[in-house]
Amino acid sequence: MLLRLMLLSVFAFVCLCGNADTQVRVDLNSEENANEEFRFESVPTPSASDAGNLAKIKVVAGTIDANSAGIAALNDGIVPASQDSPKANFFFSGRSPGRLLFDFGMPIDLQQINTYSWHPSSRAPQVYRVYTTNSEKTATQTLPDHAGLMEAGWQHVADVDSRKSGHEQATQVAVGIQGSDSAQLGSVRFVLMHVEPTSTDRTFAQTFFSEIDFLDGKSYSPTEQKQNEETVDVLFIENKYSISFDTTEVPELRTWVRNDLMPICEQWYPRIVAALPSEHFEPPTEFSVIFRRDMRGVAYTAGKDVFCARDWFVNNKQGEGLGAVVHELVHVVQQYRSPRGRRGAAAGERPSWLVEGIADHIRWFQYEPKNRRRQLNLRRANYDDGYFASATFLNHVIVHHDRDAISRLNNALRLGRFHSGLWKQWFGKTAEELWEDCQNAG
């Protein structure tokens, strides 16, 4: 009985993986039996030479807690020396789930996954789900729910919930996942972990992960790590969209990104999606905002990713920085390219001035407060100058002719059906006549 109180171990089968049962073993150390070596009854001690040294790790949902050691703590082979050491553990912030993607760069013959945690309270238990794949295409689909992940090609390996052991006095937890009868988990390049908070009614309930090991029967030195210490914060919106903010090259902007930019993107990306719909069109659900140290200019969007220039944003983060990113979010949603399988759509006009005018209208006439709006000399400008001039022109059309003008123009541009005759067809006047009215209206 005394021995049982000192060292607790629970063994369970939890899911079907392919044609073999996956075994999940949970080992628990009580507070008095916890040790710096992370010795357990059955799960081996953490390794400094496992295949985790090959892994490039990315947070694809959730946000790393600012007090955490970051993703480097997951595969550095170093475990904390005490039970409450935030800077020696990885953990998410807030009360929302998070997701981690491990990329080994090549398929490995995965035999076992071991996860370790140590904390005196609600951060010790481990609650997560594991998926694997070899497909690079499948590995880009990291946001759907369980059914969506399975449909995308992920293989469900195991569900883990150390709380089911019923031993709340345990502070040090080790979980080992392997195939039954020593079978391998399979040939695996990518591992996706969906991590849940350990409690819904506690503020601090994100697991302190001290180490995550991937065993394939081989040894890898820490120098083989491909991890490049990326600094990426991931914003998860409405269980539907994921935006990764990469400040690896510009760490001085990370606080501004987390405190100011991410809340604006959380609010405005869904609004922009709603403002620019088209039938059978799905806007990007995963994309990145990447800050570059040596980039010139302000910002641009390539495909579905946004690139931002360090110098400009450092100098304008308290001014136009947020609005500049809102403008780029519009470009992420626009995606004015030929629909797949409809080459004829490319025949339609897609004037750049109108594309930029729509983006600037959403920025200056919807996002920015009126007292910050730029001033325009209407007599010196023209409707097709792009950006703010074209946004001003569009606002005149909206106010005086059709409140849904941008939605209609967006749809025509996206489907390749826009042509200059639409101004008169839809709004009763040519673009030149509409601009003259705008100038006269002041």
d(C-alpha 231, C-alpha 216), whole Å: 28
* Domain final position from 315, 334, 353: 334
Do 409 and 297 share a structural domain?
no
d(C-alpha 269, C-alpha 125), whole Å: 35
First-to-last C-alpha distance (Å) of the chain: 87
pLDDT of the residue at 167: 62
Looking at the 3D structure of the chain, how many domains does it have? 3
Do 171 and 60 share a structural domain?
yes
Do 296 and 389 share a structural domain?
no
Do 276 and 383 share a structural domain?
no
pLDDT of the residue at 339: 46
User: 409-441 as b/e, with b when 16 or more CB fall inside 10 Å?
Assistant: bbbbbbbbebeeeebeebbeeebeebbeebbee
Q: Are 155 and 93 in contact (CB under 8 A)?
A: no
Helices (H), 205-351: 254-256, 262-275, 310-316, 321-334
pLDDT of the residue at 250: 93
Average pLDDT, the chain: 88
CATH number for the domain including 273? 3.30.2010
Residue 432 has pLDDT above 50, yes or no: yes
pLDDT > 70: percent of the chain: 89
Do 350 and 309 share a structural domain?
no
Higher pLDDT, 68 or 315: 315
State how beta strands 286-292 and 241-246 pair.
Answer: parallel
Among 72-86, 118-132, 332-346, 385-399, where is mean pLDDT lowest? 332-346
Do 349 and 238 share a structural domain?
no
Task: Give tens-digit pLDDT for 376-410.
Answer: 999 999 999 999 999 999 999 999 999 999 999 99
Residue 380's CB: how many other CB atoms inside 10 A?
Answer: 8
Helices (H), 276-380: 310-316, 321-334, 352-361
d(C-alpha 326, C-alpha 367), whole Å: 8
Do 182 and 278 share a structural domain?
no
Token pair for 313: 């944003």
CA angle centred on 361, ends 358 and 362, rounded to 5°: 90
* Domain final position from 296, 317, 334: 334
pLDDT of the residue at 141: 87
Report the SS3 class of residue 40: coil
Residue 172 has pLDDT above 60, yes or no: yes
Do 148 and 51 share a structural domain?
yes
Task: Give tens-digit pLDDT for 364-375.
Answer: 999 999 999 989
Range of the domain at 142: 2-230
pLDDT of the residue at 7: 43
In this structure, is the dihedral angle defined by the CA atoms of residues 193, 199, 205 and 207, taken in order, positive or negative?
negative
pLDDT of the residue at 16: 38
Do 158 and 128 share a structural domain?
yes
Helices (H), 381-420: 387-400, 405-415
Task: Give tens-digit pLDDT for 246-277.
Answer: 998 999 999 999 999 999 999 999 999 999 99
CATH number for the domain including 193? 2.60.120.260
pLDDT of the residue at 128: 97
Of 165, 150, 75, the C-alpha closest to 116 is 75
* Domain final position from 205, 230, 255: 230
Token pair for 359: 């983006």
pLDDT > 90: percent of the chain: 69
Do 171 and 108 share a structural domain?
yes
Residue given tokens 């005490």 in the structure block: 82
Among 199-203, 233-237, 278-282, 336-340, where is mean pLDDT lowest? 336-340
Residues 6+ apart with CB under 8 A from 275: 362, 366, 406, 407, 410
Do 369 and 310 share a structural domain?
no
Task: Give tens-digit pLDDT for 43-96.
Answer: 999 999 999 999 999 988 888 888 888 888 998 888 998 888 898 999 998 888
Do 222 and 284 share a structural domain?
no
